[in-house]
Structure 1
Amino acid sequence: MNQMLQEAEVQKSQAEDSQVQDSQAQESRSPETPGRTPAPAHPRFAKPQRVAFVQSSWHRDVVEECRIAFLAEIAARHITNVDVFEVPGSFEIPLHAQILAKTRRYTAIVAAGLVVDGGIYRHEFVADTVIKALMDVQLRTEVPVFSAVLTPQQFHESAAHFEFFRKHFAIKGIEVAEACANTLLSLERLRGQVAAGIT
């Protein structure tokens, strides 16, 4: 009799454990689980997209944070064909962007660099020149060009500043990936409408 009671209790305990495990598994699968936000569903492209990422090597350890964040975010937005190019400094980015755009291999080009005081040029001049040249490239070639070329007003060669700008470039990488993907989606729709004679 005692053995039957013990077996019944074991079976009851096992059933309760199984229910708890099922409930936990369901919660982990459920998108409405408190504290866990579901991953956003990004729209897919009708045609494959290929992006060129042109990065300056000046302060590479800071600028590469932009590239790392960009690659992760752009992949989440269904763009996995990204070719990375490195140039000496931001001043060299526009020419590379123009040559890449003229190949017609890329549906978009992204530029990343950090322009700081130093050398024979004022950093504001370099940054303005780079941004204007990148705008000229996209208007001449109709290949969208995105800029994460930053020029901080106050930049010091200190650990605190480097750490701040690493985090800042990571944020910029996500933002430029979002802008790139959304623009490419918009252009894909627009070109489809133009081809269909809707616009």
Structure 2
Amino acid sequence: MSFSPPAPVSIDGSAFRIGIVAARYNPELVDALVQQVGGYLRAAGVAAEAIDVWRVPGSNEIPVAVQGMLRQGGWDAVVALGVIIRGGTIHYEVIAYSSADALHAVSLEAGVPVINGIVVAENEAQARERCLGAVDRGSEFAWAALEMAALRRTRFPVSRP
């Protein structure tokens, strides 16, 4: 894991419509990510009414909801948010890998950036640090969404329904 992300690029988000699909599992942590993403987007000029949040049970359900959101059309980017913490079995690995693969597939199929904001942690302390502590993953996910939305608009525009 890198603690040296690229510096955010200043982007006026006032013309963008950004979707957020967030798991309800690990609610304290995921809710913090939703707040961080929404706060960053609004600070960048994205109107509150141009941000739509859909909630799903867990990280495994995120990709199908993202797909449904993208099929509605009109989105510049979608941020997928969840928290998966290692347990006593490899179940967390299965969910982490399968949701990441599915998010990539949905994004490529739709031609719309989907930011994988599913935090995968070895333990609760790591997850808390990334969602509530010094590592502000939510803001990183938001600026990645804005940067990709801007890139999409300028480099590979897609007609809107």
Where on the TM-score scale, by shorter chain, does this alignment land: which range?
0.7 to 0.9
SS of match in other structure, 1:111: strand
Q: Distance in 1 between matches of 2:69 and 2:153?
A: 20
Q: CA deviation at 1:43?
A: 3.5
Is the alpha carbon distance of 1:169 and 1:122 closer, same or farther for their aligned partners in structure 2, counting shifts above 3 Å? farther
SS of match in other structure, 1:115: strand
Q: CA deviation at 1:93?
A: 0.3
SS of match in other structure, 1:53: strand
Q: CA deviation at 1:116?
A: 2.3
TM-score by length of 2: 0.81
Is structure 2 residue 23 aligned with structure 1 residue 71?
A: no
SS of match in other structure, 1:130: helix
Q: CA deviation at 1:164?
A: 3.0
SS of match in other structure, 1:79: coil
Mind listing any 5+ residue stretches in structure 1 that lack a counterpart?
A: 1-39
Match of 1:139 among 98, 108, 120: 108
Is the alpha carbon distance of 1:44 and 1:151 closer, same or farther for their aligned partners in structure 2, counting shifts above 3 Å? closer
Match of 1:176 among 121, 133, 141: 141
Task: Note if contact 2:83-2:119 (Cα within 8 Å) is conserved in structure 1.
Answer: yes
- Equivalent residues in 2 for 1:118-157, closer than 5 Å: 118=87, 122-155=91-124
SS of match in other structure, 2:42: helix
Q: Distance in 2 between matches of 1:63 and 1:42?
A: 25
TM-score by length of 1: 0.66
Identity of aligned residues (%): 24
Mind listing any 5+ residue stretches in structure 2 that lack a counterpart?
A: 1-7
Choose between structure 1 and 2 for higher RCO, CA contacts under 8 A separated by at least 6 residues: 2
Which has the larger share of helix? 1
Q: Give the total of aligned pairs.
A: 150
Is structure 2 residue 22 aligned with structure 1 residue 48?
A: no
Aligned-pair RMSD on alpha carbons? 2.8
Match of 2:78 among 89, 93, 109: 109
